């Protein structure tokens, strides 16, 4: 979906790496020659299509099957034409639940066109096949569940067809409740008159179909729906899936099963209530989904890919770090030079524990784990290190400007207590040089776009920080729920493209899989991030408090110095002290009366610019949310394993994702208007 046609430009231009700084993990490794293979190519443009629709047996579907197939084929041809026009677009990916009807119609079409097929199944493959085959007896159902031939020829034919199609597809099988569901399914066939069993099975089947449908929607840019416009359907059915997609911001191309020549585009949930909709421009829609960015956004992404590698932080940018360390209780002489972990070293360093846990997932996808290692972790290292460097340059430059402004004021009046007006010019020259330095730092910071580049790279880093957990759990943020930057969108498209390229695991989700992911991935990540934010909130609150105290002390000294001079002058005027004493001390007191307020104003300005108190509050709120999430995870881990299901774990992963997004939006709101500037 992103950056089509620019990958080759990026590969040609990107000859330098970007650093990875990981202070959150407390690890700093020796820099080496970085391997850029995982980060120098932009994520490919990969379009994800989902399919939902009526099953065999629906009157409109069965009657108009040929016309429906023709309409679907026409849409797929348009998709092929648009995607093939972009040289670096990846193959289209079809996400389908493999139900007998519209799903398999689309799967056949996709296979014929060489598309990738991904099946997020609501059950394990055999149980899913048995349920969708509609066997006539419990004996046939048991045979299909066991992977054996059924006495029902229609059911056997469907099972054979699905088995052949599934062998060439990536399957994300939600099988953690298969034993219970299979028992309910067979019970409905053993005793067809048992309404209680039928309702129990219908409820759980609908719930799991909706769960798989949500996974499918999250992985897709567009949903194609084959619906007669009348059938309300159950939870997990066609209309429910259409509404769920629209609520998630995923557009729906609706092929009317009753009149297949009518294809309509729905973009909001309310459109489901409207019959008179214009014929859509399918080619234009697909084009907007494949390449959503302007050329300016592409250029910014290319610039990000070609940033320069810095093995460590630069001392000239350390002013902000020094203030934070000095006033946050880190000590006066503590070293603050950051050594960056190269992207290619991250997997064996800070990311090793995560990869080890991914490799321990029962029935997990080793190929996906390998791609997370080579693509996601290296991209995170690139973004995090670059953002840290740019943050130092931007915030360090602004703090330096504040300090230089005080030094310039002090230099301008420093001649008063030590020299006459004849020797003012060296002090004036020093003041002039300091003012020029402020202008140079400001111009350079604006020209290099430090503020914007820091914002953009930090967004990429935070999106990718917890991405491996989402990928391994088959969880994603839907297309319409990604944040929108005020001026830039490429970080969101870049991160989403990187995640979309990997897609769903080729795995069977069991309760063992979920428990390992819950304890080893989610719980450990949430705990480490909570501890980080607790410590950060405490440190920044201390910085704010200490800067406040220093500013107030300097203001008090200014008051004392002015009051002292006035008392001295009054004492001279009243004859208590010689009048010459006040005259002789006037220049010194003038110098002090300027110096103390200047320094007080500078530290107050740094406190305002750094917004340490608000950042502390953001981290405190984030830590509280993570603590609550950690408690939910602990409760689920302590529950009986039989009660564990994918929906619960996916909900926790989504909550983690929401917490991260909220934090990004909050800190950006704080710093959005604080461009590097002259401190006047």
What is the secondary structure of 216-271 as a DSSP string?
Answer: HHHT-SEEEEEE-S-----TTSHHHHHHHHHHTT--EEEEESSSTT-EEEE-SGGG
Q: Which tokens sit at 554?
A: 């300097």
655-668 average pLDDT score: 91
pLDDT the model gives residue 5: 33
> What is the spatial distance between Cα 599 and Cα 581, in angstroms, rounded to a whole number?
27
Query: Residue 347 in contact with residue 355, Cβ under 8 Å?
Result: yes
| Res 673 pLDDT > 80 | no
Residue 30 has pLDDT above 90, yes or no: no
Distance CA 536, CA 384 (A): 17
How far is Cα 498 from Cα 45, in angstroms, rounded to an integer?
A: 10
pLDDT on residue 295: 63
Sheet of strand 263-266, all strands in order from the earlier edge strand to the far edge: 263-266, 252-256, 222-227, 48-53, 93-95, 116-121, 170-174, 507-509
Measured CA to CA, the distance from residue 433 to residue 60 in angstroms comes to 82
Region 241-251 average pLDDT: 94
Structure confidence at residue 7 (pLDDT): 34
Q: What's the rounded mean pLDDT across residues 321-343?
A: 83
| Residue range 349-389, pLDDT digits in tens | 999 999 999 999 998 899 999 999 999 999 999 999 999 99
pLDDT value at residue 658: 95
User: Beta strand 252-256 with 263-266: parallel, antiparallel or unpaired?
Assistant: antiparallel
pLDDT greater than 50 at residue 185: yes
Taking 80 as the threshold, does the pLDDT of residue 21 lie above it? no
Cα–Cα distance list, 267 to 255, 262, 374, 387 (Å): 14, 16, 36, 35
What average pLDDT does the structure give for the chain?
87
Cα–Cα distance list, 4 to 1, 42, 43, 110, 293 (Å): 7, 9, 9, 21, 9
- DSSP helix/strand/coil, 49: strand
Contacts of 160 (CB under 8 A, 6+ apart): none
Look up residue 486 and give its DSSP letter. Answer: S
Residue 4 pLDDT exceeds 80: no
> Would you state the torsion angle of the CA atoms of residues 222, 224, 229, 230, taken in this order, to the nearest 10 degrees?
-110
Residue 213 has pLDDT above 90, yes or no: yes
d(CA 676, CA 398): 6
Rg of the chain, C-alpha, whole Å: 32
> Which DSSP state fits 36?
-
Give yes or no for residue 108 having a pLDDT over 50. Answer: yes
- For 669, counting Cβ atoms within 10 Å of its Cβ (0-12 exposed, 13-18 middle, 19+ buried), the class is exposed
Task: Please tell me the least confidently modeled range out of 33-37, 160-164, 572-576, 656-660.
Answer: 33-37
Which range is least confidently modeled, 87-91, 321-325, 598-602?
Answer: 87-91
- pLDDT value, residue 35: 46
* Cα–Cα distance, 238 to 241 (Å, whole number): 5
Q: What is the pLDDT of residue 669?
A: 82
Q: Where are the alpha helices (DSSP H) in 328-418?
A: 352-359, 366-371, 377-413, 415-418
Q: In the prediction, which pLDDT does 297 show? A: 75
Spatial separation of the C-alpha atoms in residues 212 and 210, rounded to whole Å: 5
Provide, rounded to the nearest whole percent, the portion of the chain with pLDDT above 90. Answer: 62
Q: Is the pLDDT of residue 221 over 70?
A: yes
Of the listed ranges 193-202, 333-342, 374-383, the least confidently predicted one is 333-342
Phi-psi region of 59 (alpha: psi -120 to 50; beta: other; left: phi over 0): alpha
**Dist. CA 521–CA 538, nearest whole Å:** 26
Low-confidence winner among 318-322, 498-502, 638-642 (lowest mean pLDDT): 638-642
pLDDT of residue 527: 95
pTM of structure: 0.88
**In a 10 Å sphere around its CB, with 0-12 CB exposed, 13-18 middle and 19+ buried, how is residue 662 labelled?**
middle
CB 599, CB 651: distance < 8 Å: no
504 or 148, higher pLDDT: 504
pLDDT given at position 15: 31
pLDDT tens for 535-562 read 999 999 999 999 999 999 999 999 999 9
How large is the average pLDDT for residues 60-74? 95
Cβ pair 496, 250 in contact under 8 A: no
Q: What is the mean pLDDT of residues 300-323?
A: 85
**Size of the chain in residues:** 680
| pLDDT given for residue 294 in this prediction | 64
pLDDT on residue 483: 86
Tell how many helices (H) and how many strands (E) occur in the chain: 26, 8
Structure confidence at residue 18 (pLDDT): 33
The SS3 of residue 174 is strand
Residue 193: phi and psi, rounded to 5, are -85, -5
């Amino acid at each position: 979906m992103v950056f089509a046609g620019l990958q080759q430009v990026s590969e040609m231009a990107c000859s330098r790496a970007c650093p990875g700084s990981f202070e959150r993990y407390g690890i700093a490794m020796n820099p080496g020659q970085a391997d850029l293979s995982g980060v120098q190519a932009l994520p490919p443009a990969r379009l994800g299509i989902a399919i939902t629709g009526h099953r065999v047996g629906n009157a409109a579907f069965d009657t108009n099957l040929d016309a429906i197939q023709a309409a679907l084929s026409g849409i797929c041809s348009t998709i092929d034409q648009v995607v093939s026009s972009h040289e670096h677009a990846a193959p289209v990916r079809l996400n389908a639940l493999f139900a007998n009807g519209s799903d398999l119609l689309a799967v056949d079409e996709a296979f014929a066109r060489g598309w990738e097929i991904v099946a997020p199944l609501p059950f394990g493959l055999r149980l899913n096949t048995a349920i969708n085959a509609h066997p006539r007896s419990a004996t046939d159902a048991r045979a299909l569940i066991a992977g054996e031939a059924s006495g029902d020829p229609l059911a056997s034919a469907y099972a054979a067809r699905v088995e052949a199609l599934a062998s060439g597809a990536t399957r994300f099988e939600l099988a953690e409740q298969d034993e219970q569901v299979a028992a309910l399914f067979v019970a409905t066939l053993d005793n067809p008159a048992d309404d209680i069993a039928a309702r129990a099975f219908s409820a759980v089947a609908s719930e799991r179909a909706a769960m798989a449908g949500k996974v499918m929607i999250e992985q897709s840019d567009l949903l194609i729906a084959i619906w007669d416009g009348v059938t309300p359907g159950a939870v997990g059915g066609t209309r429910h899936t259409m509404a769920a997609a629209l609520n998630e911001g995923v557009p729906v191309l609706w092929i009317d099963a009753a009149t297949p020549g009518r294809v309509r585009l729905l973009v909001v949930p309310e459109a489901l209530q409207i019959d008179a909709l214009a014929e859509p421009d399918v080619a234009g829609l697909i084009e907007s989904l494949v390449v959503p960015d302007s050329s300016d956004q592409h250029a910014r992404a290319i610039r990000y890919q070609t940033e320069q590698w810095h093995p460590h932080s630069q001392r000239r940018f350390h002013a902000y770090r020094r203030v934070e360390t000095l006033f946050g209780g880190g000590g006066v002489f503590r070293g603050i030079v950051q050594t960056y972990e190269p992207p290619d070293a991250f997997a064996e360093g800070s990311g090793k524990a995560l990869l080890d846990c991914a490799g321990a997932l029962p029935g997990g996808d080793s190929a996906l784990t390998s791609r997370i290692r080579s693509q996601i972790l290296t991209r995170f290292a690139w973004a995090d290190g670059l953002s840290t460097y740019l943050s130092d340059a931007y915030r360090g430059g602004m703090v330096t400007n504040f300090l230089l402004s005080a030094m310039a004021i002090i230099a301008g009046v420093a001649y008063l207590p030590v020299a006459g007006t004849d020797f003012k010019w060296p002090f004036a020259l020093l003041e002039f040089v300091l003012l020029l330095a402020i202008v140079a730092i400001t111009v350079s910071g604006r020209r290099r776009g430090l503020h914007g580049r820091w914002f953009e790279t930090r967004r990429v880093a935070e999106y990718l920080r917890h991405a491996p957990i989402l990928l391994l759990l088959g969880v994603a943020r839907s297309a319409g729920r990604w944040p929108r930057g005020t001026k830039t969108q490429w970080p969101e498209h870049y991160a989403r493209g990187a995640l979309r390229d990997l897609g769903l695991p080729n795995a069977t989700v069991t309760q063992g899989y979920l428990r390992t992911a819950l304890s080893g991935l989610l719980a450990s990540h949430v705990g480490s991030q909570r501890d980080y934010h607790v410590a950060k909130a405490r440190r920044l609150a201390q910085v704010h408090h200490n800067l406040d105290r220093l500013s107030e002390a300097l203001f008090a000294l200014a008051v004392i110095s002015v009051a002292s001079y006035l008392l001295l002058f009054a004492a001279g005027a009243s004859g208590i002290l010689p009048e010459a004493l006040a005259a002789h001390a006037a220049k010194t007191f003038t110098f002090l009366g300027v110096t103390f307020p200047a320094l007080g104003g500078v530290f107050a300005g740094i406190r305002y610019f750094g917004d340490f108190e608000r950042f502390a509050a953001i981290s405190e709120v984030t830590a509280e949310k993570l603590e609550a999430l950690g408690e939910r995870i602990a409760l689920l881990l302590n529950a009986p394993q039989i009660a564990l299901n994918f929906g619960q774990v996916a909900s926790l992963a989504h909550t983690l994702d929401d917490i991260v997004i909220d934090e990004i939006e909050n800190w950006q709101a704080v710093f959005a208007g604080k461009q590097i500037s002259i401190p006047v």
